[in-house]
Structures are given as structure tokens and as C-alpha cells.
Amino acid sequence: MKQTLMEPFSLTLDFAAGRIEPATTRIERRLSDMLGMFADAAAEAAAMTDGDPLIYEVLQYDVPNETGQLVVCTTVLHPGRIGDEYYMTKGHYHEKLDTAEVYLGLRGHGKLVMQADHGFSGLDMHSGTIAYVPPYWAHRTVNTGSDLFVFFAVYPADAGHNYGAIEHGGFGQRVVDRDGRPMIVPSNKGVEA
């Protein structure tokens, strides 16, 4: 097995801004990058004419894509809604399904929704929450607050991101605003009308 011999290193993390310094990759996801993922198509279209909002950013420090290596990254999820559905990440399974991930909440409030063949999970996250995504669980984060929702993540560098299953099949649960409070509802009810 090929393994790059690396030198130890340290990085700086600004908890409030979610900035890793230095970061080698910055991914920006706007609504146009995730059209069709929110339940309310009319609200998506309206938000697009309003200027294609920035939904979230991911900052990460890349390491070789090899078994044994770990990627560290942060996600900065902006506050907002498309219809009654809060801004969220695309969500993914790992290509290597038997790999886990750890999140640490740094700022704001959100939910981590997960799904596996046998069920769903929805965990609250805020500053200080450590959340564990076990192997085989698809994971998506949602900003349920009015501030930035910022969290740190660590995952195996060779885990890979499988977006297709979520893009085509969707997530079984959605996080929506109900009278000012976040609620997890089944995808096929309530928000699709």
C-alpha cells in the first residue's frame, strides 16, 4: 500500500469565523449548486432571481488521499430559508461506506440529520457539541438559527463523497420552520405542497 511519509504540522482555527489557516481548499456552495434539493421549487426559483444566495462554505486542509490519513475541515453554513426549509448542506454518503466522521460545533445552532438503510437520526448541534457520524450513515447539516452555524469535521481522507444518492433519492427527512421553531418532518409530507 502506497503511503506518503508526512511531516507533522499544525494549523490555526478561528472558531467564530470558521477559518482554517492555512486552508488549501475553499468550496463555495450557492443555491445554483444545489437546485432541486429544497422541497419548494417556487421558493428556490424566487431566491435565484434574488441573486443566487451563498448557502455554505467549506475550508479544508488537504492531505494525500490515502488510507490512514485524516482530512480536517470547517463548514460555515449561512442562516436563511428556502420556503420554510432552512439552509443546509447537500449531504452525502461516503463512497467508502464503512468510514465514520466526527463533527465539533463551534458557533450557532443547527441539526445534523442522518439516514441509513434502517432509519433516521436528527441531532442538535451547537458550540461544543461533538457529534459522531457512524459508518454507513448519510449526513447533512442544517442551520436552524439566525447566526452563522460553524462546525469542524474530521474524516478519513480516502472516504470519498457520494452525492448522487441524495441528489436523486433525496433525504427522507427535512428540517423546516414551524412557527419560528425547527422541526424535522418526513420529506413526503408537509413541505411538498
Q: Which is nearer to Zn ion, 47 or 142 (CB)?
A: 142
Least distance (Å) between residue 91 CB and ligand M6P: 5
Q: How far is the CB of 140 from ligand M6P (least distance, A)?
A: 6
Q: Is the CB of 172 or the CB of 186 nearer to Zn ion? A: 172
Closest residue (Cβ) to Zn ion?
101
Which residue lies nearer to Zn ion by CB, 44 or 101?
101
> How near is the Cβ of 11 to Zn ion at its closest, in Å?
19
Residue 58 binds which of ligand M6P, Zn ion, none (CB < 5-8 A, kind-dependent) = ligand M6P
| Alpha-carbon 165 to chain mean position | 15
Cβ density class 62-77: b for 16+ within 10 Å, e for less: ebeeeeeeebbbbbbb
Is the peptide bond prior to 22 cis by the omega test (within 30 degrees of 0)?
Answer: yes
Q: Which does 109 bind (CB under 5 to 8 A by kind): ligand M6P, Zn ion, none?
A: none
Question: Which of ligand M6P, Zn ion, none does residue 176 bind (CB under 5 to 8 Å by kind)?
Answer: none
Partner in contact with 115, chosen from Zn ion, ligand M6P, none, beta carbon below 5 to 8 Å by kind: none
